[in-house]
């Protein structure tokens, strides 16, 4: 079939564009090389919604960030994903660097950021008591927030799907060519796909696809960022997102609460030629600890429950590239989407879908349903409501993940719902099963069993995150296959 | 759901022994709440032998050992709920639990016995650098996959940590045809029992590298190799000692953590060394009527000692609800561990409330050869026992006599020390 639009990549940008496109009378398809949505950059980042004072005035980053930020209150309700405007601090620890706070404030004003305030050390510590006593000046941005990037990405994708978009996973685009009639042909490991318009939301690979069709070359360098996640027992050490003012000695790291009550510390920033190099290093871990503790001296780094790394798609020009790839009018880039990409995704979705709608002269779709409901979380119910639910569906009475109190009902929902999970990571990102302090030690065999029962897969088919990431290899020698 | 006098949280070896003992001590209103589908706890996946040497004077497998206690609980007619999760224990001993058939329910208990056991430290807590591929398991998770589910995680195995489960799994994986290349232990001594080193590693020619750790994990989707390096006294890797081992499985046996989230929420005071509750001579926590025993109290090596400890906790819980518990005398003797003794269980005692003697259990922080375990009543050394070897991997005990303590009404402090020859 000939699609109106094919989006390459089911990360936050691709999913947001697909969802906004699904408002219109257009056939939309998303091709994703991973086994699930949220498999690349979106799954490993700071989970921060920036206020927008960071980017250079006039840049796409500044514009998209500030616009995107404003959309979150309503969007998080419509699409039902966790978001909290917790505010952010940029902390200056050195009297000589204090001017930097003022420059950031001025830049924020130019970018259209509201609700900013400059605090002195005392004023800042009155709000964040665990802040270093060396704090001399702080930029307080009240519009900054925190979000669950997995749930946001999944929500966008599910809503796009429910509004008619097709999704194909484990489908890697290998070649793009143009037919004589002006339509595009995408060759993948999973057959060929035809479309009028392409959206290139391929994250760290966006330059590769852009360069297939345009002579104005892009060049993306993945920047590896390492993070540490702390146990919920460390939650509450900070309420706001604490950034450090970049100084001549280098960039600091952020310390922030997550929407789920953990504490996140990171990132490092190391350029790598390897587009899949999501590894952590001892140097990185040491750097995170040193920097984070300089700002929050009491931060209990011994309570780390996991470390991970993500790759940011840094383009040489340093800005987002949004729009048609010269000379093609039907190939739209969403390239160079590094920080503040998550904050900007809602605005990018609207901007790029708008360009495509105009190009294809598409009409709004009367049947478009903007709302989407997340997996029911019984922990938010009263005992009476919970008991009614368990009576209706006993699976909500059985806890599978002890650390995060996730029930079998939630896991079944995660599998059965649109674009349902098929891997342990897929379940984890949708329900938090396995994301707690034991890091799936107890629940993984049980989750595997439920996936098998629900999907008919066998235990040896179950993966951590698709591809070759199988959990078990074969039966023990004493077991008869029957 | 009706109310029960005693709620036992956990149906593993501690919970079973505590329940049976409470019943035999006269309580008729006991409920065991177990989160798994069967009673027996982690013993169900411990299909190797070596259990019960102290309790039954014979060598049983884990399931056999558990079954003896399960049979007793069934014979005694003690109520239990399976597949039921305790969600909360309130300071007033209201226990909130949930399962598929009863939904969420509350029991106003008069006494609670904490028997939740422990969990394994995961990879994340170690913050090992490298990728995060499939094929990395805590040893107990692998044990469950192999022994209960009947699946092999892989064929080429490296084990980090020499805790007992890791050692047992080294042998188990070998018997299943896997190649266990090496066991690396960051400390200069093993965290497991000597007998497991001999029977699970030495007998199979599996090398144990002490003072070594994993410093890198390779493999983007599935684990392909690890790098192991020697560590110095500061436990930091020594440059130039790195060796790469290809593998498809990395098992971690790097420590056990008592599962005390419920205890903490209830407001039970905790011991930062054991990560278990602080208890008195009756194994009673800082909340009167809340008792603790087994691995939730402190990590044990031998289930026999868990059963023994749990029996006491069960008896004391019964005495508490029946109003038979000895009144507090007001004398409080605090126990201290010094010079190598990391902790003691219990932490404090009221000598009048002892039956006739008291077993004090403790662990040391290093290997001691030909040294003495000394007990001081105040400044007076009352015990000085020579031991050929004392190791962190083996729990130690001394027995205090009630009569001895009653003779010293002014005594406020007892200290356990390791003293060199």
Residue B244: CB atoms within 10 Å = 12
Widest CA span in chain B: 67
Do B41 and B296 form a contact (C-beta atoms < 8 A)?
no
pLDDT band at A74 (very low <50, low <70, confident <90, very high): very high
Instruction: Report the pLDDT value the prediction gives residue A478, as an integer from 0 to 100.
Output: 61
Cis peptide before A427 (omega within 30 of 0): no
Average pLDDT over residues A208-212: 98
pLDDT band at A201 (very low <50, low <70, confident <90, very high): very high
**A250 has a pLDDT exceeding 80:** no
Give residues with Cβ within 8 angstroms of A99, minimum separation 6.
none
Instruction: Tell how strand B156-160 and strand B151-152 pair up.
Output: unpaired
User: What are the tokens at A286?
Assistant: 């040491």
Average pLDDT over residues A346-357: 98
Residues of A in contact with B138 (CB under 8 A): 441
76-105 in chain B: CB under 8 A from chain A: 83, 85, 87, 98-104
**A274 has a pLDDT exceeding 60:** yes
| Distance from C-alpha of A148 to C-alpha of A253, rounded to nearest angstrom | 19
Among B128, B133, B165, B220, most A C-beta atoms within 10 A, so best to mutate, is B220
| Distance from C-alpha of B211 to C-alpha of B233, rounded to nearest angstrom | 8
Which candidate from A395, A439, A479 shows the least CB-CB separation from B123? A439
Average pLDDT over residues B337-353: 94
**Thinking of the domain A2-42+149-219+317-360, which architecture would CATH place it in?**
3-Layer(bba) Sandwich (3.50)
Residues of A in contact with B98 (CB under 8 A): 386, 390, 397, 399
Q: Cβ of A46 under 8 Å from any chain B Cβ?
A: no
Average pLDDT over residues B186-202: 94
Judge residue B56's burial from the number of C-beta atoms within 10 Å of its C-beta, 0-12 exposed, 13-18 middle, 19 or more buried. middle
Residues of B in contact with A284 (CB under 8 A): 129
| Distance from C-alpha of A356 to C-alpha of A4, rounded to nearest angstrom | 10
Q: Cβ of B272 under 8 Å from any chain A Cβ?
A: no
Which candidate from A390, A439, A475 shows the least CB-CB separation from B150? A475
Q: What average pLDDT does chain B have?
A: 95
DSSP letters along A117-149, please?
EEEEHHHHHHH-TTS-TT--EEEEETT-EEE-H
**A370 has a pLDDT exceeding 80:** yes
CB contact under 8 A, B35 and A402: yes
**A481 has a pLDDT exceeding 70:** no
- Per the annotation, the verdict on A260 as an active-site residue is no
- A88-142+221-315 has the same fold as A2-42+149-219+317-360: no
Average pLDDT over residues A323-343: 97
Percent of chain B with pLDDT over 70: 100
- State the complex-level ipTM: 0.93
User: What are the tokens at B42?
Assistant: 């982690």
pLDDT digits (tens, 9 = 90+) for B83-140: 999 999 999 999 999 999 999 999 999 999 999 999 999 888 888 999 999 999 999 9
Q: Which residue in A393, A406, A285, A350 sits closest to A63, CA to CA?
A: A350
Q: Which residues are B6's β-sheet partners?
A: B30, B111
Instruction: Report the pLDDT value the prediction gives residue A37, as an integer from 0 to 100.
Output: 98
Residues of A in contact with B150 (CB under 8 A): 475-476, 478-479
Q: What average pLDDT does chain A have?
A: 96
Sign of the dihedral defined by the CA atoms of residues A7, A62, A204, A45, in that order: negative
| Distance from C-alpha of A134 to C-alpha of B121, rounded to nearest angstrom | 35
CB contact under 8 A, B134 and A465: yes
Instruction: Tell how strand A137-141 and strand A116-120 pair up.
Output: antiparallel
Task: Decide if domain A378-461 falls under CATH 1.10.10.1100.
Answer: yes
Which candidate from B98, B101, B129 shows the least CB-CB separation from A280? B129
Percent of chain A with pLDDT over 90: 95
CB contact under 8 A, A444 and B141: yes
**Thinking of the domain A88-142+221-315, which architecture would CATH place it in?**
2-Layer Sandwich (3.30)
Minimum CA–CA partner of A423 in chain B: B134
| Distance from C-alpha of B225 to C-alpha of B228, rounded to nearest angstrom | 10
Q: Which residues are B33's β-sheet partners?
A: B9, B81
Instruction: Report the pLDDT value the prediction gives residue B317, as an integer from 0 to 100.
Output: 98
Instruction: Report the pLDDT value the prediction gives residue B355, as an integer from 0 to 100.
Output: 83
Do A9 and A167 form a contact (C-beta atoms < 8 A)?
no
| Distance from C-alpha of A57 to C-alpha of A103, rounded to nearest angstrom | 12
CB contact under 8 A, B122 and A438: yes
Among B94, B124, B145, B272, most A C-beta atoms within 10 A, so best to mutate, is B124
Of the listed ranges A110-114, A337-341, A441-445, B208-212, the least confidently predicted one is A441-445
Q: Rounded to a whole number, what is the distance in Å from the CA of B200 to chain A's nearest CA?
A: 19
Q: How far is CA A332 from CA A67, A202, A343, B55, in A?
A: 20, 11, 20, 73
Strand, helix or coil for residue B75: helix
**Domain locations in chain A as residue ranges:** 2-42+149-219+317-360, 88-142+221-315, 378-461
Q: How far is CA A40 from CA A31, A203, A277, B353, B367, in A?
A: 13, 8, 11, 62, 47
């Amino acid at each position: 079939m000939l699609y109106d639009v094919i989006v390459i990549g089911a990360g936050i940008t691709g999913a947001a564009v697909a969802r906004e496109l699904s408002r219109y009378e257009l056939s939309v398809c998303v091709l994703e090389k991973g086994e699930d949505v949220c498999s690349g950059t979106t799954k490993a980042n700071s989970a921060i919604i920036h206020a927008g004072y960071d980017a250079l005035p006039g840049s796409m980053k500044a514009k998209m960030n500030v616009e995107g930020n404003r959309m979150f209150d309503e969007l998080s309700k419509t699409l039902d994903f966790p978001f909290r405007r917790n505010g952010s601090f940029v902390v200056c620890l050195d009297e000589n660097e204090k001017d930097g706070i003022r420059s950031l404030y001025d830049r924020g004003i130019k970018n259209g950021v509201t609700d900013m305030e400059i605090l002195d050390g005392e004023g800042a510590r009155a709000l964040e008591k665990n802040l270093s006593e060396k704090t001399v000046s702080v930029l307080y941005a009240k519009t900054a927030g925190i979000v669950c990037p997995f749930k946001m990405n999944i929500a966008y994708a599910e809503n796009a799907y429910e509004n008619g978009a097709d999704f194909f996973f484990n489908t890697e685009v290998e070649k793009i060519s143009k037919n004589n009639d002006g339509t595009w042909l995408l060759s993948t490991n999973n057959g060929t796909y035809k479309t009028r318009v392409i959206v290139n939301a391929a994250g760290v690979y966006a330059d590769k696809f852009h360069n297939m069709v345009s002579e104005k070359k892009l060049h993306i360098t993945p920047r590896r960022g390492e993070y540490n996640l702390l146990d919920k027992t460390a939650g509450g050490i900070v309420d706001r997102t604490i950034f450090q003012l970049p100084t001549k000695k280098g960039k600091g790291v952020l310390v922030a609460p997550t929407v789920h009550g953990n504490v996140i510390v990171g990132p490092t920033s190391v350029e790598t030629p390897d587009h899949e190099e999501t590894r952590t290093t001892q140097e990185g871990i040491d750097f995170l600890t040193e920097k984070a503790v300089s700002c929050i001296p009491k931060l209990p780094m011994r309570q780390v429950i996991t470390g991970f790394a993500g790759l940011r798609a840094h383009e040489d020009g340093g800005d987002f590239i949004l729009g048609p790839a010269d000379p093609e009018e039907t190939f739209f880039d969403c390239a160079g989407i590094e920080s503040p990409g998550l904050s900007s995704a809602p605005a990018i979705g609207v901007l790029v879908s708008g360009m495509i709608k105009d190009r294809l002269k598409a009409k709004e779709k009367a049947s478009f349903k903007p709302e989407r409901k997340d997996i029911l979380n019984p922990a938010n119910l009263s005992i009476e409501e919970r008991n009614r639910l368990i009576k209706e569906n006993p699976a909500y009475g059985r806890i599978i993940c002890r650390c995060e109190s996730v029930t079998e009902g939630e896991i079944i929902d995660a599998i059965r719902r649109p674009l349902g999970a098929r891997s342990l990571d897929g379940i984890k990102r949708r329900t938090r099963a396995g994301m707690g302090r034991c890091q799936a030690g107890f629940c993984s065999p049980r989750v595997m069993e439920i996936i098998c029962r629900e999907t008919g897969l066998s235990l040896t088919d179950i993966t951590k995150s698709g591809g070759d990431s199988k959990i078990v290899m074969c039966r023990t020698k004493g077991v008869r296959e029957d | 759901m009706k109310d029960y006098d005693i709620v036992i949280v956990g149906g593993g070896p501690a919970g079973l022994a505590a329940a049976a003992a409470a019943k035999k001590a006269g309580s008729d209103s006991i409920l065991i709440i177990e989160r798994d589908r069967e009673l027996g706890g982690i013993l169900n996946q411990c299909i190797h032998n070596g259990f019960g040497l102290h309790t039954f004077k014979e060598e049983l497998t884990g399931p056999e050992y558990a079954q003896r206690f399960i049979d007793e609980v069934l014979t005694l007619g003690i109520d239990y709920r399976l597949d039921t999760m305790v969600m909360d224990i309130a300071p007033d001993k209201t226990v909130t639990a949930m399962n598929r058939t009863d939904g969420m329910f509350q029991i106003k208990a008069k006494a609670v016995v904490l028997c939740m056991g422990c969990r394994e430290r995961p990879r994340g807590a170690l913050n090992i650098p490298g990728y995060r591929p499939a094929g990395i398991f805590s040893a107990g998770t692998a044990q469950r996959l192999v022994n209960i589910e009947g699946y092999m995680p892989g064929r080429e195995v490296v084990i980090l940590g020499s805790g007992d489960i890791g050692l047992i799994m080294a042998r188990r994986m070998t018997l299943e045809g896997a190649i266990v290349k090496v066991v690396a232990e960051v400390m200069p001594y093993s965290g497991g029992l000597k007998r497991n080193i001999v029977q699970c590693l030495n007998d199979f020619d599996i090398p144990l590298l002490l003072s070594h750790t994993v410093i890198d994990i390779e493999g983007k989707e599935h684990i392909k190799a690890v790098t192991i390096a020697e560590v110095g006294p500061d436990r930091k890797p020594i440059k130039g000692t790195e060796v790469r081992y290809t593998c498809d499985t990395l098992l971690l046996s790097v420590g056990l953590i008592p599962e005390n989230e419920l205890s903490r929420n209830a407001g039970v005071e905790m011991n930062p060394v054991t990560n278990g509750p602080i208890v008195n001579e009756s194994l009673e926590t800082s909340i009167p009527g809340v008792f603790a025993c087994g691995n939730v109290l402190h990590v044990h090596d031998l289930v026999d000692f868990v059963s023994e400890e749990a029996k006491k906790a069960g008896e004391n819980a019964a005495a508490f609800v029946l109003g038979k518990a000895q009144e507090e005398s007001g004398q409080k003797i605090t126990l201290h561990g010094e010079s190598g003794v990391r902790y003691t269980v219990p932490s404090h005692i009221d000598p009048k409330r002892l039956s006739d003697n008291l077993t004090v259990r403790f662990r040391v922080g290093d290997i001691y050869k030909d040294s003495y375990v000394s007990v001081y009543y105040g400044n007076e050394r009352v015990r000085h026992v020579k031991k050929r070897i004392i190791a962190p991997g083996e729990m130690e005990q001394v027995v205090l006599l009630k009569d001895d303590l009653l003779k010293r009404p002014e005594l406020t402090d007892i200290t356990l020390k390791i003293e060199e020859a």
